Copies of this chain bind each other. A is one copy, B any other.
Amino acid sequence: MLDRIGTKWTSMAVKVLAGAAPDEVRFAELRRRMPGISQKMLSVTLQSLVRDGLVARRVEPTVPPGVHYRLTDLGRSLEGPLAALRNWAETYIAEIERNNRLAEGPGAGDR
């Protein structure tokens, strides 16, 4: 399960939804706030979160239908642990990227 919960897009979706909670967020607005995500990937990410019971989906019977998402209580309980990991990653990303470049060794760029 960690493999699903700990991914970049899941983490970002939970973050955006947690920031809006208890309000809902529309699909298009979610996508706007998750730069780089495709419509398909956002759709798959949200489907998985809904199946897990972390996110609730509400379809508004308008034309066209409005689709709204919000974190459930279970989803809100995930935001703390996920934020801790996200903050760790943001703090150390530069150091880790540097380590990766160094691991390529001297002259790696010439090969």
Contacts and interface: CB of A to CB of B under 8 A. Distances in A.
Give the interface size bracket for A toward B.
20 to 34
Interface stretch (A34-42, A60-68, A96-104): A96-104
A111 interface: no
Interface in A49-104: 50-54, 74, 77-78, 80-82, 84-89, 92-93, 95-96, 99-100, 103
A7 interface: yes
A110 interface: no
12 contacts: A1-B96, A2-B7, A2-B8, A2-B85, A2-B89, A5-B6, A52-B99, A53-B96, A54-B96, A74-B92, A80-B88, A84-B85
